[in-house]
């Protein structure tokens, strides 16, 4: 998103034809700003652990389990840069120059602030081609006493706008008695519904920040047995006293792949075909020069 905005004012940067976002970091917890003081805290305390917000065993080959405070600082800086550039574009009446945007986002996300995606970006887009696809939580009845629906207080009010300048699509349960999913799309004051052949897996309550772009057959984060016959991180299940382990509880609880990945993949390809001059196919989703 930062690049697409920069390219509008810098002719030396090739302009994006479209922007596709997966769990985008348009907004994060404002507390991240305070972490700019971590250098001072580490210096005064002479404790190197002050450089980290968490330290865990490194068992993930592609993602650090331990989280450095500097990452929070960098994340805060880039979200502020994006917000400022979007605000400047709005103020100058040039939002139409921003390419169409498609975003795939879980309604619950512990890494980013979902309402900011709506209020900072989508509510100000000037393209009817743009679309926000939200993956709702599993609202089957037997889970009702287990679900924490506090996210609705901040997300739902942001979705009540009827004159939204984009298409809003929500993938959720047909009803509380079924794990089957239905697509509800809201565009230009019209609502359309489409039943799907998708079902929530029995043990999945919601997607997560990291799950959205990962297919269920991924050898590391998927739910299937990998070639080494060891459990993947997506299917890892261990029973112990939490204090006996060097990894956090979230390693076992957090959803690590998207059971609706192929639906999402088809949606992205169709959207690109309809809204850009790029014509992706199954074997080469994005031409070399566009990737």
Please name which of 47, 37, 100 lies closest in space to residue 72, comparing C-alpha atoms. Answer: 37
Instruction: Specify the higher pLDDT residue, 79 or 252.
Output: 79
Over residues 66-107, the pLDDT tens digits come to 778 788 888 888 999 999 999 999 999 999 999 999 999 999
Q: With 80 as the cut, is the pLDDT of residue 290 above it?
A: no
Most confident of 52-61, 85-94, 230-239: 85-94
Is residue 254 scored above 50 in pLDDT?
yes
Residue 32 has pLDDT above 70, yes or no: no
CA distances from 85 to 88, 120, 166 (A): 5, 11, 20
| Residue 286 reports pLDDT greater than 60 | no
CA angle centred on 158, ends 156 and 159, rounded to 5°: 65
What pTM was computed for the model?
0.84
Q: What is the pLDDT of residues 114-158, one digit of tens each?
A: 999 999 999 999 888 999 999 999 999 988 888 989 999 999 999
pLDDT band at 202 (very low <50, low <70, confident <90, very high): confident
Cα 78 to Cα 27: distance, rounded to the nearest angstrom: 9
Indicate whether 246 pLDDT > 80. Answer: no
């Amino acid at each position: 998103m930062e690049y697409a905005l920069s390219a509008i004012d810098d002719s030396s940067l090739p302009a994006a034809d479209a922007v596709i976002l997966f769990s985008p970091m348009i907004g994060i917890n404002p507390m991240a700003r305070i972490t700019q003081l971590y250098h001072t805290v580490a210096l005064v305390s002479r404790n190197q652990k002050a450089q980290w917000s968490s330290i865990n065993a490194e068992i993930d080959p592609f993602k650090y389990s331990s989280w450095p405070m500097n990452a929070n600082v960098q994340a805060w800086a880039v979200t502020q840069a994006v917000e400022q550039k979007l605000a400047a574009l709005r103020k100058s009446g040039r939002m139409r120059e921003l390419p169409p945007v498609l975003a795939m986002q879980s309604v619950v996300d512990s890494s980013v602030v979902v309402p900011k995606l709506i209020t900072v970006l989508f509510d100000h887009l000037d393209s009817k081609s743009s679309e926000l696809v939200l993956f709702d939580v599993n609202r089957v009845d037997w889970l009702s006493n287990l679900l924490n629906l506090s996210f609705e207080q901040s997300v739902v009010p942001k979705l009540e706008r009827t004159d939204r300048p984009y298409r809003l699509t929500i993938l959720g349960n047909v009803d509380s008695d079924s794990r089957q999913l239905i697509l509800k799309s809201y565009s230009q004051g019209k609502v359309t519904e489409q039943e799907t052949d998708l079902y929530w897996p029995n043990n999945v309550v919601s997607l997560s920040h990291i799950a959205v772009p990962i297919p269920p057959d991924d050898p590391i984060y998927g739910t299937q047995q990998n070639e080494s016959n060891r459990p993947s991180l997506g299917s890892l299940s261990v029973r112990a006293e939490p204090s006996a382990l060097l990894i956090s509880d979230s390693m076992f609880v957090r959803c690590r792949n998207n059971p609706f990945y192929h639906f999402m993949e088809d949606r992205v390809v169709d959207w690109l075909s309809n809204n850009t001059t790029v014509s992706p196919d199954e074997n080469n989703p994005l031409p070399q020069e566009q990737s």
